[in-house]
Structure 1
Amino acid sequence: MELLNKKTGIISFLLLFSFNLSAQVNPSQIFAESYRYESSGDYEKAIGELNSVNGYDYHKFLRLGWLYYLSKDYETSKKFYRQATELEPMAVEALIGLCYPLEAEKNSEELEKVYKQILTLDMMNSKVNYALGNIFYYRKDFTQAEIYFDKVQQMYPFDYYSTLMCGWTKYFLGKKNEAKRLFNIVLIISPADQSAKDGLNLLK
Structure 2
Amino acid sequence: MKLIHYVQILIIILFTSNPYTSPLFAQESHWQSSYRFEALGQYDKALQALDSIKANDPAAELKVLRRGWLYYLMGNYHESIREYRYAKERNANSLDALLGITLPLLAQKRWREAEQNSRHALALAPNNFIGLLRLTMALEGHQDWRRMQKTAVRMVALYPSNYTAYLYLARAYAKLNQRSDAVAAYTAVLMRYPGHKEAKAYISQ
**What TM-score comes out, normalization by structure 1 length?**
0.69
Please tell me whether residue 76 in structure 1 is matched to residue 79 in structure 2.
yes
CA distance in 1, matches of 2:79, 2:193: 41
- Kept in 2, the 8 Å contact 1:164–1:196? The answer is no
Cα drift, residue 140 of structure 1: 3.6
Q: Give the corresponding residue for 1:156.
A: 159
Task: Give TM-score, length-normalised by structure 2.
Answer: 0.69
Letter of the 1:47 counterpart = L
Q: Is residue 111 of structure 1 aligned with residue 93 of structure 2? A: no
| SS across alignment from 2:101 | helix
Task: State whether residues 184 and 196 of structure 1, in contact with CA within 8 Å, keep that contact through their aligned partners in structure 2.
Answer: no
Q: Does 1:121 align with 2:124?
A: yes
8 Å CA contact retained: 2:87, 2:97: yes
Separation of aligned partners in 2, 1:119 and 1:86: 18
Q: Does 1:87 align with 2:90?
A: yes
Greater Rg, structure 1 or structure 2? 1
Judged with a 3 Å threshold, the aligned counterparts in structure 2 of structure 1 residues 195 and 27 are, in CA distance, closer, same or farther, namely: same
Unaligned stretches of 5+ residues in structure 2: 1-15
- Is residue 39 of structure 1 aligned with residue 39 of structure 2? yes
Alpha-carbon offset, residue 23 of structure 1: 9.6
In structure 2, relative to structure 1, the CA distance for the partners of 1:23 and 1:191 (3 Å cut) is closer
Q: Measured at CA, do residues 90 and 196 of structure 1 come closer, stay the same or move farther in structure 2, by a change above 3 Å?
A: same
Gap change, CA 1:133 and 1:77, over 3 Å in 2: closer
Give unmatched runs, 5+ long, in structure 1. Answer: 1-17
- State the Cα distance separating 1:100 from its structure 2 match: 2.2
Structure 1 residues 102 and 134: CA distance shift in structure 2, 3 A: closer
CA contact (8 A) 2:111 2:139 kept: no
Written as runs of structure 1 = structure 2, the 5 A alignment for 1:108-187 is 108-170=111-173, 173=176, 182=185, 185-186=188-189
Q: 1:191 to 1:98 in 2, by over 3 A?
A: closer
Q: Residue 70 of structure 2: which of 55, 67, 70 is its match?
A: 67
In structure 2, relative to structure 1, the CA distance for the partners of 1:51 and 1:168 (3 Å cut) is: closer
Which string of whole-angstrom CA distances, capped at 9 and with x for unpartnered residues, describes residues 116-154 of structure 1?
111111111223313322433454422211220110011
Q: Helix, strand or coil for the counterpart of 1:79?
A: helix
Could you tell me which amino acid in structure 1 is paired with residue 168 of structure 2? M
1:168-201 superposed Cα distances (whole Å, 9 cap, x missing partner): 5346557677556545545654676435525xx7
Distance 1:194 1:77 in 2: 36
| 2: CA distance, partners of 1:42 / 1:176 | 45
Query: How large is the Cα RMSD of the aligned pairs?
Result: 3.1
Structure 1 distance, partners of 2:142, 2:44, is: 38
Q: For residues 46 and 184 of structure 1, what CA distance do their matches in structure 2 show? A: 41
SS at match of 1:89: coil
Alpha-carbon separation, structure 2, partners of 1:48 and 1:40: 14
Supply the distance in 1 between the matched residues of 2:29 and 2:41 (Cα, whole angstroms): 19
